[in-house]
């Protein structure tokens, strides 16, 4: 049997010695002063075993990782109607390329590029009574952890500097693919991205994707079919224009965020969360990618 | 000698009988209820003769025609520094294509596509003390006519519905090619476009472009070199993706607006303004284009 | 235990009753007269069991399916050097979009879009002594079946009409990403695509991808790492701009061809080949897609 | 009255002292060894006066300048039917951008980008009995000069290296906008571009565009309307993505070639030809552009 603890310990030892830790994202000013020495791994199996090393109990800004959780909430609310407004194909382009929206008449390529995630945010704003409060409660329920919060400073930092997101939302609006006002949708979206979670909390939150749609509290949130859809989307679209590389190097569905977090999972087996704030040139955690690559190499556990 | 009055009378008689008058722009709600039967022509020679027929004293929304006047004001304020932030090449694309801005790193192709005009608006906001008041005074001074006003309803109508312009301005901002806030710049821009002028007032305002930069009141606003630059830009970029067709069919520098106005001119000879609210598929006044085509065919006056 | 034979029999019964069988590809004239009533399925497990139904012993033009076999041959010849000339990311675009090549300076997005496959063909032409003969022998060796041939009429049909492929190859050449002459490379490429194989032969040929790189004759052709790379590429890029949909609906790595064939596989478990000549709007076999979707739904066997 | 000879003499004196003479085109190998010190100017008025200085009697490869002559021949053969297959709008893009052809379904933006010129070549191949011979005779007739020839080495040099043109022609063919075979059309096109002419011969050849369609021998080749069309196209599309800049800096319709030649003209007044082999970054003759700019500044003769 695999000794997960030893494996992640070894990866941790390598990681903290790495010379090139990547570059911490600076386009969101509030994220710029995170120490790039942070490094944590946490693993949770579908059977409930957990393993952690390093800074796995330290909260960080989950950023785009939240897009997966927002998608699962939207799916539970309106089901397959989502796909009338968003496509499911990889974009093959950097994460905030507006051109595609124009070429495709306002239909974002998938729910994980910013344009698609903003449409998901619009759906949540339309279908939740108190969008920000209700979404936070959803995350707290998935994890059974009421301490999770939005970092208001990070949300505000993006509100002040997120011009491309404003451009994107307005463009979607011009194509009638945004039902609420740009300001309301982006206020929600920036909060969603500004969720602060630890590696172990993220492993809990993503547990439903390795447990047929049931969360830790054994509540069914989405169908097994919807789990499959989300896992397929993570594999093909979870890493901007490095999705193909990740599919090969790691071979797991996953989602990264510019805060340096990556969650990946082997369906029906385990969730693994890594955090290392420095990014590579494509905007994914540099050491996080390497750690997951080592993990699947050492464990020989991947979908391929 | 040419009998301008008879020529424009004949064009007018043809135009009012036209069956296909084009379609009045509806994307700005306030413009949608203009009667498409309006039709006016006004001509002013560089020597001061004037000729008019039809609704040439009826004010209409000049919209994009204002971009030429905004450019001339910006040139008088900061001169050739403009070209550090905007290019001078035809775009060969519909008038609000955001893709180009991304491909070209935030530098609009020319000052007459919306992106370029928004950068010009930013320049005016930075360099005028009371931007809206001062720009209105500039127009009033060019024409010697204090009755010219902004139509607040039209400006407001665009503010509520102009999502593509908000997208464009935010995208420019994300490339650091907008110094003021998006809201302030677009408030100015929507007012500029919402100027209401008659054909005869427009012929007066554009007089400086056939009079070496001197307006009717004999004040020098821009250099002869700058006049040449503006006229060249009108010829190559004045008609969205119908610029080439207009250059051939009419053969004059000119600028159209979605309000149905077109101003064209023969350098050092005359300015001619036509107004007919119905647009063709490319967004230019349908009968206005035909009228100018007939005019240059009948008078044999064109730059080619 | 799963009764594969009953499952594929049931799928077959449904398929032959389908009213909409898609449209047989007509852009390659030689393919246009294939009867759309053909339908076959063949499955081979990694342990060697085989199951077939319908026209699974009838040869058809494998077309783009050959790209996977060409890639595996190229990998065995020059290894990871391939990735200096081709990327591994999904294209998110129809299968013969030249624009991408220009934007990306002659580096095709992945080895399964035509541009990438043509570079692979160039590699094989450079590295095989008698390219066409040697590649055919490779296919015959993988399957242990000397009866497999190129259909010269199909190859010739493409040579006469494949203008987009000529455009693509010349564009690659202009970016110095083609070492041999356009004509020689395309002659090879058109032959490769014109391989005629049956469902059962394809299941044999793809056996190495579920058997750690070893073919039926127990010869190692590629490393386990290379198998993983190829399977990841099939999942993310195997179905033109329907890759995301296939990843979700079927959940298996696979590759389709305009001849109506699809090969899919579950790593280390089985290869399944389906043939139905009628295509859907995205260029993939209409009934083939549905059959595989049913198969993974009924068996609950997918990578997600 | 203007003393043209003194003016061009002064320009010549400046030019030969220039330190930065641009870079001689190297992508056509045969052009690479032309001495960048060559410099000639020739001017011919509509009344028949001529003025020359420097190397104005030395033949050079006219390259893209030939596109204007090919267009005028095609117009005289099939008239306005040309515009069913080619548009008349500026491209706003570098001169051999294939993407545009895909986006616009095989219709080139204008007859002066390579794609458009290749369609014109196709028209000539279809409508001339002996295309290469007849086109050469046309040029000889326009100039009254039988000594003009194709440079076979240059034509051959392009045939061997012109991969982008092969890509373009094949792409046009795939959109059914090429009636003859790619090889036949490009053989004609490469010869057309490989015409060797002197500045004074070019001034003669372009005389019909300042003389209402009549050539030096007083034969009418095209209508006055067609002259206007061609002049408008030269102004808006004659200089790749430097058309806007040229329209402003020089203010004359014109056409450049990578051989370093530029022909420009003031309708009904004069033709001026400049030759200097070194190119600027946009692919136009560096000193040629400057010379024409000086010429229109000194003479104050431009269309604006």
Residues D18-27 have pLDDT tens digits of 999 999 988 7
DSSP 8-state symbol, B32 = T
User: Is the CB of D92 less than 8 angstroms away from the CB of B88?
Assistant: no
Check residues C52 and B100 and name the one with the higher pLDDT.
C52
Q: What is the mean pLDDT of residues D189-208?
A: 98
The C-alpha atoms of residue C27 and residue A65 are separated, in whole angstroms, by 43
The C-alpha atoms of residue B304 and residue D212 are separated, in whole angstroms, by 11
Q: What is the mean pLDDT of residues D44-70?
A: 97
User: Is the CB of C98 less than 8 angstroms away from the CB of D170?
Assistant: no
Beta carbons of A215 and A221 less than 8 angstroms apart = yes
Residues of D in contact with C163 (CB under 8 A): 170-171, 173-174, 182
Whether the predicted model's global pTM rises above the 0.90 cut = yes
Beta carbons of C253 and C264 less than 8 angstroms apart = yes
Structure tokens at B184: 């302030």
B119 vs B112, B255, C166, C214, C290, CA distance in Å?
A: 10, 18, 43, 62, 52
Closest CA of chain B from D104, distance in Å? 11
A166 is catalytic: no
pLDDT, tens only, A243-261: 888 998 899 999 999 999 9
Mean pLDDT rounded to a whole number for chain B:
94
Window from B228-237, C155-164, D98-107 with minimum mean pLDDT: D98-107
The C-alpha atoms of residue A113 and residue A135 are separated, in whole angstroms, by 20
Residue B145's φ and ψ, nearest 5 degrees, are -140, 105
> What total number of domains does chain D contain?
1
Q: How many CB atoms lie within 10 A of CB D206?
A: 30
What SS3 class is residue C135?
helix
Residues of A in contact with B167 (CB under 8 A): 98, 166-168, 170-171, 174
Beta carbons of A261 and A202 less than 8 angstroms apart = yes
Residue A258 located in a structural domain: yes
pLDDT, tens only, C210-266: 999 999 989 999 999 999 999 999 999 999 788 888 998 899 999 999 999 999 999
pLDDT, tens only, B47-88: 999 999 999 999 999 999 999 999 999 999 999 999 999 999
* Residues of B with catalytic function: 64, 67, 189, 240, 258
**pLDDT for residue B250 is more than 60:** yes
Residue D93 located in a structural domain: yes
Closest CA of chain A from B118, distance in Å? 14
User: Is the CB of D247 less than 8 angstroms away from the CB of B236?
Assistant: yes
**pLDDT for residue A194 is more than 70:** yes
**Half-sphere exposure in the Cβ direction for A220 (13 Å, CA):** 6
The C-alpha atoms of residue D116 and residue D91 are separated, in whole angstroms, by 11
Residue B146 located in a structural domain: yes
Beta carbons of A53 and A68 less than 8 angstroms apart = no
C254 vs A246, C65, C246, C288, D58, CA distance in Å?
A: 18, 9, 9, 11, 63
The C-alpha atoms of residue B41 and residue B274 are separated, in whole angstroms, by 4
Q: Is the four-CA dihedral C100, C101, C103, C104 of positive or negative sign? A: positive
Q: How confident is the model at residue A169 (pLDDT cuts 50, 70, 90)?
A: very high
Q: Find the residue in C nearest to A231 (Cα).
A: C304
Structure tokens at A99: 């051109």
Check residues B93 and A128 and name the one with the higher pLDDT.
A128
Mean pLDDT rounded to a whole number for chain D:
94
A64 is catalytic: yes
User: Is the CB of B232 less than 8 angstroms away from the CB of D241?
Assistant: no
Residue B304 located in a structural domain: no
SS3 string of C272-288?
EEEECCEECCCCCEHHH
Domain around B243: 4-299
Where in A257-299 does DSSP place strands (E)?
261-266, 270-275, 278-279
User: Is the CB of C228 less than 8 angstroms away from the CB of A88?
Assistant: no
The C-alpha atoms of residue A36 and residue A56 are separated, in whole angstroms, by 14
Beta carbons of A253 and A264 less than 8 angstroms apart = yes
B241 vs A248, B90, B120, D65, CA distance in Å?
A: 44, 9, 21, 25
* Residues of D with catalytic function: 64, 67, 189, 240, 258
**pLDDT for residue C95 is more than 60:** no
Per-residue pLDDT at C86: 95
pLDDT, tens only, A68-87: 999 999 999 999 999 999 99
Residue D304 located in a structural domain: no
User: Is the CB of B98 less than 8 angstroms away from the CB of A103?
Assistant: no
Window from B150-154, B248-252, D122-126 with minimum mean pLDDT: B248-252
pLDDT, tens only, B118-148: 999 999 999 999 999 999 999 999 999 999 9
Beta bridge partners of D149: D196
Nearest to B118 by CA among B86, B144, B90: B86
C227 is catalytic: no
Closest CA of chain B from D164, distance in Å? 22
Residue B20 located in a structural domain: yes
CATH (domain of C19): 3.40.710.10
**pLDDT for residue D276 is more than 70:** yes
Q: Find the residue in D nearest to B265 (Cα).
A: D304
pLDDT, tens only, C159-197: 999 999 999 999 999 999 999 999 999 999 999 999 999
User: Is the CB of D167 less than 8 angstroms away from the CB of C98?
Assistant: yes
Q: What is the ipTM of this complex?
A: 0.93
Residues of A in contact with B102 (CB under 8 A): 97-99
Q: How many CB atoms lie within 10 A of CB B278?
A: 22
The C-alpha atoms of residue D261 and residue D285 are separated, in whole angstroms, by 7
- Taking only Cα atoms into account, the Rg of chain A, rounded to an integer number of angstroms, comes to 18
Beta carbons of A207 and A215 less than 8 angstroms apart = yes
Per-residue pLDDT at A93: 64
Residue A45 located in a structural domain: yes
Per-residue pLDDT at D240: 79
Q: What is the mean pLDDT of residues C275-294?
A: 95
Structure tokens at C60: 């058809």
How many residue pairs from chains A and B have C-beta atoms closer than 8 A? Answer: 50
Per-residue pLDDT at B93: 63
Per-residue pLDDT at A101: 77
- Best of D27, D167, D175 to disrupt the C interface (most C CBs within 10 Å) is D167
Residue C28 located in a structural domain: yes
Q: Are strands C149-150 and C195-197 parallel, antiparallel or unpaired?
A: antiparallel
**pLDDT for residue C93 is more than 70:** no
Per-residue pLDDT at D169: 96
C240 is catalytic: yes
Window from A273-277, B297-301, D72-76 with minimum mean pLDDT: B297-301
Per-residue pLDDT at A105: 84
């Amino acid at each position: 049997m695999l000794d997960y603890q030893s494996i992640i310990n070894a990866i941790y030892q390598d990681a903290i010695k790495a010379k090139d830790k990547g570059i911490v994202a600076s386009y969101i000013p509030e994220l710029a002063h995170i120490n790039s020495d942070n490094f944590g791994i946490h693993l949770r199996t579908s059977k409930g075993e957990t393993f952690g090393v390093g800074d796995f109990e330290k909260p960080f800004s989950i950023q785009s990782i939240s897009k997966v959780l927002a998608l699962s909430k939207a799916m539970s609310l309106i089901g397959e109607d989502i796909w009338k407004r968003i496509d499911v194909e990889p974009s093959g382009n950097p994460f905030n390329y507006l051109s595609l929206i124009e070429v495709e008449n306002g239909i974002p390529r998938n729910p994980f590029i910013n344009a698609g995630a903003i449409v998901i945010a619009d759906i949540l704003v339309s279908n939740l009574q108190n969008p920000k409060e209700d979404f936070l409660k959803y995350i707290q329920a998935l994890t059974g952890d009421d301490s999770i919060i939005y970092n208001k400073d990070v949300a505000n930092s993006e509100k002040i500097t997120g011009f491309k997101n404003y451009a994107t939302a307005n463009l979607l609006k011009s194509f009638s693919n945004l039902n609420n006002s740009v300001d309301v949708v982006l206020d929600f979206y920036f909060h969603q991205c500004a969720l602060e979670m630890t590696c172990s909390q993220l492993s809990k939150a993503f547990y439903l994707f390795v447990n047929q749609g049931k969360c830790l509290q054994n509540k069914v949130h989405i169908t097994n079919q919807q789990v499959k859809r989300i896992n397929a989307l993570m594999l093909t679209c979870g890493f901007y224009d490095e999705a193909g590389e990740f599919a090969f190097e790691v071979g797991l569905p996953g989602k990264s965020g510019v805060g340096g977090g990556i969650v990946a999972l082997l369906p029906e087996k385990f969730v693994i969360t890594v955090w290392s704030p420095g990014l590579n040139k494509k905007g994914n955690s540099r050491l996080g990618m390497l750690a997951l690559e080592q993990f699947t190499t050492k464990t020989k556990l991947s979908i391929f």
